[in-house]
């Protein structure tokens, strides 16, 4: 029988535990980075979806004398789905438009579209999610603040009515959960904080938009999501760079021109 070599020494239990501890620490440091890399990759795919939607929108405008498409999916009441860009832009794309973001974690997609089939509303009207994306309601023919006051067509519903297309948000990410998860547009004019409550603009916007679509952290001014602009550009940007207040933002075409710098 051969005897073990005299110079060899086995690992002690303490040494094995130390090595395991180091590996656990390294994995703890590495996994968040890997998760962040994965979300950035998914964000690139989401931006690709927005880019295709934007290209289709530019084609739509070319045919309709520079008029924008419109919205119509409801958030708590009856809407006009046939008018929504989800339907009207389809003929203007060379291939199928992807209206579901790879970052979308909403449980409200219908089962026929691979979702969980959980309705947005628990009331008499059951609404489901048909798109991850929405359109800036300031550009809507029927749901812009001016249209609400003066009637359809009163707002900035055409390219010629937007002074700064490169600085004005067009398409965006709708909230995955909540009342607006079934809709295709926010109501930006409602984001002004109410002095009688503790709600600020960010909290109000986060009920309508997925402002933290990329980072997935608690919504904050530095939360990042994907956005497209009227000129067709698509970018991943922090919410704080797009909305400061009702008098300083990139949603209202009447004032977005004043914020042209800083997007590159």
Residue 5 belongs to a domain: no
- pLDDT score, position 126: 86
Residue 106 belongs to a domain: yes
Residue 47 belongs to a domain: yes
- pLDDT score, position 5: 55
Residue 4 belongs to a domain: no
Residue 7 belongs to a domain: no
φ/ψ of 150, rounded to 5, equals -115, -5
Phi-psi region of 114 (alpha: psi -120 to 50; beta: other; left: phi over 0): left
Domain count, the chain: 1
Instruction: Using 70 as the pLDDT threshold, list the residues of the chain that sit under it.
Output: 1-11, 15, 27, 29-36, 122-124, 195-198, 260-264
pTM: 0.84
Q: Of 210, 183, 205, 177, whose CA–CA distance to 108 is shortest?
A: 177
Query: 72 lies in which domain range?
Result: 16-259
Report the alpha-carbon distance of residue 234 to residue 181 in Å, rounded. 22
Q: Which two tokens stand for residue 254?
A: 């009447």
Residue 194 belongs to a domain: yes
Residue 9 belongs to a domain: no
- pLDDT score, position 3: 54
Report the alpha-carbon distance of residue 234 to residue 226 in Å, rounded. 7
């Amino acid at each position: 029988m051969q005897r073990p070599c005299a110079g060899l020494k086995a690992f002690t239990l303490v040494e094995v535990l130390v090595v395991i501890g180091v590996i656990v620490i390294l994995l703890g440091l590495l996994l968040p980075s890997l998760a962040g890399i994965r979300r950035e990759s998914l964000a690139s795919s989401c931006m690709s979806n927005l880019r295709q939607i934007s290209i289709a929108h530019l084609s739509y405008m070319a045919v309709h004398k520079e008029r924008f498409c419109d919205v119509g999916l409801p958030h708590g009441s009856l809407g006009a789905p046939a008018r929504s860009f989800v339907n009207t832009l389809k003929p203007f794309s060379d291939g199928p438009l992807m209206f579901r973001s790879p970052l979308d974690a909403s449980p409200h997609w219908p089962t026929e579209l691979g979702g969980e089939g959980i309705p947005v509303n628990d009331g008499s009207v059951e609404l489901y999610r048909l798109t991850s994306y929405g359109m800036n309601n300031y550009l809507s023919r029927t749901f812009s603040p001016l249209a609400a006051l003066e009637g359809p067509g009163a707002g900035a519903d055409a390219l010629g009515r937007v002074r700064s297309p490169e600085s004005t948000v067009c398409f965006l990410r709708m909230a995955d959960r909540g009342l607006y998860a079934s809709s295709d547009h926010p109501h930006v004019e409602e984001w002004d904080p109410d002095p009688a409550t503790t709600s600020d603009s960010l909290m109000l916007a986060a009920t309508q938009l997925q402002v933290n679509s990329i980072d997935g952290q608690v919504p904050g001014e530095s939360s990042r999501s994907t956005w497209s602009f009227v000129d067709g550009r698509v970018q991943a940007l922090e919410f704080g760079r797009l909305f400061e207040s009702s008098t300083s933002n990139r949603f209202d075409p009447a004032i977005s021109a004043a914020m042209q710098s800083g997007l590159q």
